[in-house]
């Protein structure tokens, strides 16, 4: 994401102009733009004009329009259901004078990569929104982990970056069963075709030569991961591809998972060997923090609270050591709700607690959303019933 222009005063009033450059930037925009925001971007409008003789002529006009966001949507191609699309649709009434469009007329802005988008927030820019702008415009972002989640005859290729898990490709190769000596031969041929197909897809969809890629994970429930890993390494040697061979030796990891499903990536990120390799990345930190919360919930529930009301009570008493909060909560259509969560984060940070904002584009964020989207690990135990009784009194 490129920051084109930023003018925000100390009260949060002002605007930010940014230029998305890839799918992850679209996810950042999706999080930045909220209902009520004024969004200005290039648009195409069909204009119909009538001549003096009564004939009509229709043509398209390119112009810049400002709309007040009322609804957002996305339109993706062949991507996983959890990934953002390459186009973000912002629907709302036009709020700026224009010779071709009446004020108040509804229009859809189709926001695409490499087009400037100006955002002005009616309620002002809060610390969470400004932090996301700064975070998204840091140079050198991108995929930090490439993963192949596979089983016998199936594979999914994933790229994990700071804010999302993107499934770039899926494949299925029919594998005959081992029912006889002939069947065993057919089975072996099927597996050989599967390994070859996985290898070719790996070259296309995993940026193994990228400096930013910290790990290449081959994960499966059984022995398939070992065979896939060995096949890739052997093919690199046979082809004399030193870059691929070095990448697999330095970054390659084989990890056991319970099922050949993309959701099993949560298990991958929590495994000790992967967590140690990726301890500096944001999504690994999310998984480790959520795992710590669940363990605390099982061993000392008075130090593991979740739910908006309970977490606020803990925050008021300065008891929070780590706050876990989903970025979905900052997208609430109710401004008062959004401001409430922003105030909670700022108050907790002011008292020296750690705040981990979970991306709902990662499995750990989706798990947190099932717990209302907000939880806390307390520095000392508190009895919820006692605290609620004190509040009533």
Question: Residue 373: which CATH number?
Answer: 3.30.1330.30
Cβ-in-10-Å burial (0-12, 13-18, 19+) of 58 comes to exposed
How many residues make up the chain in this entry? Answer: 393
Which pair of structure tokens corresponds to residue 86? 């390459």
Domain boundary among 97, 114, 137: 137
Q: Same structural domain for residues 87 and 166?
A: no
- pTM, two decimals, is 0.63
Domain count, the chain: 3
Which pair of structure tokens corresponds to residue 50? 């009538």
Q: Same structural domain for residues 173 and 201?
A: yes
CATH number at residue 128: 2.30.30.870
Domain boundary among 226, 259, 278: 278
How far is residue 295's CA from residue 33's CA, in Å, rounded to a whole number? 35
Range of the domain at 29: 2-137
Q: Same structural domain for residues 258 and 154?
A: yes
Q: Same structural domain for residues 339 and 244?
A: no
How far is residue 34's CA from residue 126's CA, in Å, rounded to a whole number? 12
Q: Same structural domain for residues 330 and 344?
A: yes
Q: Same structural domain for residues 287 and 224?
A: no
Long-range CB pairs of 243-250, under 8 A, 24+ apart, other chains included: 243/208, 243/209, 244/203, 244/208, 244/209, 247/208, 247/209, 247/213, 247/216, 248/208, 248/216
How far is residue 224's CA from residue 150's CA, in Å, rounded to a whole number? 7
How far is residue 166's CA from residue 323's CA, in Å, rounded to a whole number? 26
What does each of the 393 residues of the chain score in pLDDT, given as a tens digit?
Answer: 788 888 888 888 999 999 888 776 787 788 788 888 999 999 887 877 777 777 787 888 888 999 999 876 655 433 443 344 468 889 999 998 888 888 998 988 988 888 899 999 988 998 888 888 887 776 545 677 899 999 999 999 998 876 667 788 999 999 888 766 555 688 889 999 999 999 999 999 998 988 778 889 999 998 999 999 999 999 999 999 999 999 999 999 999 988 888 888 777 777 777 777 776 566 677 888 999 999 999 999 999 999 999 999 999 999 999 999 998 898 887 888 989 999 999 999 999 999 999 988 777 888 999 999 999 999 999 998 988 888 888
Domain boundary among 86, 116, 137: 137
Reduced to 3 DSSP states, what percent helix, strand and coil does the chain have, rounded to the nearest 5? 40, 30, 30
Beta-strand pair 88-93/106-111: antiparallel
């Amino acid at each position: 994401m490129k920051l084109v222009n930023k003018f925000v005063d100390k009260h949060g009033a002002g605007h930010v102009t940014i230029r998305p450059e890839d799918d992850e930037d679209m996810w950042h925009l999706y999080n930045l733009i909220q209902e009520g925001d004024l969004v200005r971007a290039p648009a195409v409008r069909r204009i119909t004009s009538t001549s003096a003789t009564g004939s009509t002529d229709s043509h398209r006009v390119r112009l810049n329009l400002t709309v007040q966001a009322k609804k957002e949507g996305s339109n993706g191609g062949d991507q996983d259901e959890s990934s953002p699309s390459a186009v973000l649709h912002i629907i709302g009434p036009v709020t700026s004078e224009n010779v071709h469009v009446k004020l108040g007329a509804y229009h859809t802005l189709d926001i695409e990569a490499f087009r400037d988008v100006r955002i002005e927030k009616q309620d002002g820019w809060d610390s969470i929104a400004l932090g996301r702008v700064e975070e998204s415009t840091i140079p050198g972002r991108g995929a930090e982990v490439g993963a192949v989640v596979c089983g016998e005859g199936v594979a999914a290729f994933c790229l994990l970056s700071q804010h999302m898990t993107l499934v770039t490709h899926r494949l299925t190769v029919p594998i005959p069963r081992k029912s006889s000596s002939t069947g065993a031969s057919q089975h072996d041929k099927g597996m050989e075709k599967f390994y070859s197909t996985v290898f070719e897809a790996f070259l296309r969809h995993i940026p193994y030569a990228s400096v930013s890629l910290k790990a290449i994970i081959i994960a499966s429930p059984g022995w398939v991961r070992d065979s896939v890993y060995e096949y890739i390494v052997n093919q690199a040697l046979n082809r004399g591809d030193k870059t691929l061979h070095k990448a697999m030796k330095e970054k390659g990891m084989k990890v056991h998972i319970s099922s050949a499903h993309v959701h099993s990536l949560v298990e991958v990120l929590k495994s000790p060997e992967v967590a140690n390799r990726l301890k500096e990345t944001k999504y690994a930190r999310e998984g480790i923090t959520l795992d710590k919360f669940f363990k605390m919930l099982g061993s000392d529930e008075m130090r593991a609270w979740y739910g908006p009301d309970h977490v606020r009570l803990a925050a008021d008493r300065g008891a929070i050591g780590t706050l876990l909060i989903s970025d979905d909560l900052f997208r609430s259509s109710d401004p008062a709700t959004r401001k409430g969560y922003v105030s909670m984060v700022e108050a907790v940070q002011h008292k020296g607690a750690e705040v981990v904002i979970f991306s709902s584009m990662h499995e750990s964020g989706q798990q947190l959303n099932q717990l209302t989207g907000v939880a806390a690990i307390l520095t000392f135990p508190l009895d919820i019933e006692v605290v609620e009784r004190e509040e009533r009194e």
